[in-house]
Structures are given as C-alpha cells and as structure tokens.
Amino acid sequence: MSAIQILLFKQPGKLHRGEEVLEIEANQLIVTSEDVRASAISRDCWLSVFCYPGELHALYNEVSELIDTNNELKHFKVDEIKVIPVYQNLVKVFEQLISNREMLMKFVFIYCLSMDKAYFSILFRYFLAYNDEVLRYIETNFMRPWPVNRFAEDLNVDVRKLNFIFYKNYGVSAKKWLQDRRLSFARQQLLGTDKKIADIALDSGFSNHAHFTDAFKKRYSCCPTTLRSSVN
C-alpha cells in the first residue's frame, strides 16, 4: 500500500477489490488501499481522498502525543479494508473540511486514533518507516531557499528520481510540494507570530518578498497582510 485511501459513505454503498464486493452501511469511514473502488446509487453518497506517506510524515508531529509507540512493527499487517463507524455530526465536519486537505487529514487521523489507538498508531509508524530517510530530510530542510535540483544533489539522486519519490509519497511533484509546504508554514507564522512579513518570507524558503506575496495570493486568495489583519 503506497497510499491510504479514505472513503466516507454517507449512504449505503459498495467497495470493489478485484472480484470481491463488500456491502457498506451508511455513516462508515473506510481506510483502505488506493486500488479499491467505491460505488453507490449516486456519486454524492460518498466522499474520498488519498493520503500519501509523506503527508503522514508531516502530520506526525501534530498528533504524536496521541500515538502509542509501545507496539512493534515487525509483525504488523495492514488491514485491506478497515471500517470505522462515524456519527452524523462528524459526517458534516468531513464535508466542511473536504476543500482543506491539511485540516481534513488531521481531523480524520485524530478521529481514527480515538476509535482504535493501537491499530492506527502502528499504521502511522508503518508509513513513517517508508522511505523514512528521504522524507525526514525533506521535512527538515524545506525552509531552505533551494531549487529542486539542489535537494536532488544533497540526496544523491537525479531530479527525475526525486520527482518519482515525491509523487509516490506526496502525490505531487517536488516543486509543487515544496511551494505548498512553504506557504503552509508561512501561513502558520503569519497567524501565530509577530514576525515581519518579509522575514517570514525568507524563513519559509522564499528568495524574495515579491515572489512570496504572489505565490501566497494564488494559494489563499488573499495577500499576507490581509490574512494577518483578519486576526488582529
């Protein structure tokens, strides 16, 4: 399993895995592999999102206090289809967060950990061990104002190989992930610190203030100054 597929059935439906068909009741959260297919009376009956190992790696620090690190990974086997009941009010939260991938991932895995801490703690750690060296390096150094080829040089791989690693672990190219990660970090800094915007731009890995402002406006539909003033 190179990516986790998360499906929320709002109404009854079916899961298709090869020739196998599994009936799913309403208000069920499914954690499964990327090759499983969902069906129902209408496409509106379910929501789906893919979560890549690198995204779990970035999320780990935010939920680490909830994760049980006592169980060993050695004999762990990922469930092909994990079914978790979801209360109706949580279905509405899921729908509201579907456009905010980062918040959605955090919400889903906190909920999963609350429902089955032992299993999802090991699942989290299992995916963290996948390409761990590369993921740790990227997550630690994304704030450096380097182009993709500099990261490739430091990891001793060519750019094509690095992009393959990013698509496999994050679902996007290296360039796209680096910009999104830097913008997300900058947004947190704008909302949570009193640093000057120019300093935040540099601290987030952008080579200049103008480039940062332009990228931020395209990503969040407002300029950094407007976002900061909204919380003051």
3-state class of 213 per DSSP? Answer: helix
Res 14: pLDDT? 95
Res 112: pLDDT? 92
Identify the residue with better confidence: 140 or 134: 140
Task: Judge if 153 and 212 occupy the same domain.
Answer: yes
Q: How many domains does the chain have?
A: 2
Task: Judge if 86 and 110 occupy the same domain.
Answer: yes
| Euclidean distance between CA atoms 173 and 8, whole angstroms | 27
Task: Judge if 106 and 38 occupy the same domain.
Answer: yes
Q: At which of 128, 161, 190 does a domain end?
A: 128
Query: Read out DSSP for 114-183?
Result: HH-HHHHHHHHHHHHTTTHHHHHHHHHHTTS---HHHHHHHHT--HHHHHHHHHHHHSS-HHHHHHHHHH
Task: Judge if 211 and 156 occupy the same domain.
Answer: yes
Task: Judge if 10 and 63 occupy the same domain.
Answer: yes
Which tens digit of pLDDT belongs to each residue from 23-67?
999 999 999 988 899 999 999 999 998 887 777 777 877 788 888
Is the per-residue pLDDT at 22 higher than 70?
yes
Which tens digit of pLDDT belongs to each residue from 69-83?
777 766 778 888 999
Strand partners, 23: 14
Is the per-residue pLDDT at 103 higher than 80?
yes
Task: Judge if 10 and 39 occupy the same domain.
Answer: yes
Task: Judge if 15 and 75 occupy the same domain.
Answer: yes
Res 201: pLDDT? 94
Task: Judge if 102 and 151 occupy the same domain.
Answer: no
Q: Which domain holds residue 118?
A: 4-128
Q: What is the pTM of this model?
A: 0.62
Task: Judge if 150 and 86 occupy the same domain.
Answer: no
* E strand or H helix at 82: strand 81-85
Strand partners, 48: 7
Q: At which of 71, 106, 128 does a domain end?
A: 128
pLDDT-based confidence at 99, cuts 50/70/90?
confident
Res 1: pLDDT? 55
Task: Judge if 108 and 204 occupy the same domain.
Answer: no
Res 77: pLDDT? 81
Task: Judge if 168 and 111 occupy the same domain.
Answer: no
Q: At which of 128, 161, 177 does a domain end?
A: 128
Task: Judge if 27 and 61 occupy the same domain.
Answer: yes
Strand partners, 11: none
CATH number of the domain where residue 208 is located: 1.10.10.60
Average pLDDT, the chain: 87
Res 132: pLDDT? 60
